Homo-oligomer: A and B are copies of this chain.
């Protein structure tokens, strides 16, 4: 399988590119103490972040079952006390990135329910403080860590302001929104956010996790699940709904260069969405005349997917599904570090066809994120 890299990347840097082993597009760095983050917040709401236990955040009741970190490495102090495996950037670099052969990791952080928090000013403040803290403590000291501009989408104007504030920072490589939402992402009030992504040449990453919290509707279309097991398994439905909405509302006709990375959703549901949607479009497209292409054309052109967790199946079936979704181009390696409760992310890569692995580990991410991913930004 040949290279997928744009000429702008390979012209001057063929040798360093060949040396890259893995790019991880989804590493959850951890806020050990909100009191460390609070000084990075705008003054007005700083005291709310600094309160014991952190800022007031609506949460759902679904918590990971069993050992949260699986086989991920964990630090222990002199007294044998186990610490959080994603709280210290130097430790994460040494014990995860360097040991596992990961060259670059994109930080997606621990706060994935901002977009369904009822207090939108508080949510925007948390986003700003978190972004500043991430830049100062993780990104600026280490070229291997790249930042995400986290935004709270329920107030699109504040989200756009945050993207414009940080969109040209060389340490930031994407915009990040939680997928939990009061309404699907095709709705027109969100379009200024997409315009801002395009204006700064930034992909938009969505991440599951806040579904069922705060202002979120029930996390399935028939109401509330009862267990984490049921809740977590149902989450790809959220991506399906957002994809249907964005295609239907003409987002990609309006923003033809917008790229969207769907984190932690798997891929096996994608053929269904493409083909059911194509069939309906053939018969029903008069309702949405601005949807000019088959829905699957937009979906394959604009959406990217991450490798943790890939659904459990046979290698043959995985290969068939990867072919259906053009995985050789659309699948990006993600570790979900340190949340390895579903297994080792490198084992998941070992299960995909050998010919695709380099693409998934390195090249697809470079093609999506471009030069920004390689440019040194540390100071």
Interface residues of chain A, those whose CB is within 8 Å of chain B, are 64-66, 70, 179-187, 211, 216-230, 232-234, 236-238, 240-242, 244-245, 248-249, 266, 268-269, 271-273, 275-288, 291, 309-313, 317, 320-321, 324, 341-343
* Further pairs besides A183-B222, A279-B310: 4, Cβ < 8 Å: A228-B284, A228-B287, A233-B244, A280-B342
Given contacts A183-B222, A185-B222, A221-B241, is CB(A229)–CB(B211) below 8 Å?
A: no
Q: How far is the CA of A142 from the CA of B241 in the complex (A)?
A: 42
Q: Name 27 A/B residue pairs within 8 A (Cβ), A-sorted.
A: A65-B284, A66-B283, A66-B286, A181-B222, A182-B222, A183-B224, A184-B223, A184-B224, A187-B226, A216-B222, A219-B221, A221-B221, A225-B241, A227-B287, A229-B248, A229-B280, A232-B280, A234-B240, A236-B272, A269-B272, A271-B311, A271-B317, A275-B311, A275-B317, A279-B342, A282-B342, A283-B342
Say yes or no: A221 contacts B245, CB within 8 Å.
Answer: no
- Docked Cα-Cα span, A230 to B245, in Å, equals 6
| Shortest beta-carbon distance from A39 to chain B in Å | 34
Bound CA span A313–B226, Å: 35
CA of A281 to CA of B309, assembled, Å:
13
Known contacts A272-B269, A279-B311; is A220 also within 8 Å of B221 by CB?
Answer: yes
Most buried by B among A220, A242, A342: A220
Number of copies: 2
Contact B279 A309 (CB under 8 A): yes
- The CB with the most chain B CB atoms within 10 A, among A233, A249, A268, A273, is that of A233
* Minimum C-beta distance from A116 to chain B (A): 10
Residues of B within 8 A of A229 (CB): 248, 280-281, 284-285, 287-288, 291
With a cutoff of 8 Å between Cβ atoms, the chain B residues found around residue A222 in the complex are 179-185, 216-217, 238, 241-242, 245
Chain B residue contacts of A70, Cβ below 8 A:
283
Q: Distance (Å) between the CB of A215 and the closest chain B CB?
A: 10
- When the two chains form their complex, are residues A245 and B218 in contact, meaning their CB atoms are under 8 A apart? no
Query: What residues on B are CB-neighbors of A216 within 8 Å?
Result: 222
Given A184-B220, A217-B218, A232 contacting B278 (CB threshold 8 A) = no
Of the candidates B225, B227, B278, the one whose C-beta lies within 8 Å of that of A312 is B278
A127 to B230, CA, bound (A): 31
Q: In whole angstroms, how far apart are the Cα atoms of A169 and B288 in the complex?
A: 46
Evaluate whether A313 and B271 lie within 8 angstroms (CB atoms) in the complex, with A66-B284, A227-B288, A245-B226 already known: yes
CB neighbours of A220 from chain B (8 A)? 184, 221, 237-238, 240-241, 244-245
B225 near A238: Cβ-Cβ < 8 Å? no
A244 nearest CB across to chain B (Å): 5
Q: Give the distance to chain B from A131, nearest Cβ to Cβ, in Å.
A: 24
What is the CB-to-nearest-CB distance from A220 to chain B, in angstroms, rounded to a whole number?
A: 4
Give the distance to chain B from A351, nearest Cβ to Cβ, in Å: 11
A217 lies within 8 A of B227 (CB): no
Docked pose: A249 CA to B211 CA in angstroms: 20
Contact A268 B275 (CB under 8 A): yes
Nearest CB of chain B from residue A223's CB, rounded to whole Å: 4
A184–B221 alpha-carbon span in the complex (Å): 9
Q: Which among B221, B284, B310 is the interface contact of A237 at CB below 8 angstroms?
A: B221
Q: CA A379 – CA B309 in complex, angstroms?
A: 58
- In the complex with contacts A272-B236, A276-B311, A278-B312, A230-B217 CB distance below 8 A: no
Q: Select from chain B the residue with minimum beta-carbon distance to A294.
A: B312
Provided the pairs A311-B275, A313-B271 are in contact, do residues A280 and B221 lie with their beta carbons within 8 angstroms?
A: no
Q: Is the CB of B277 within 8 A of A249?
A: no
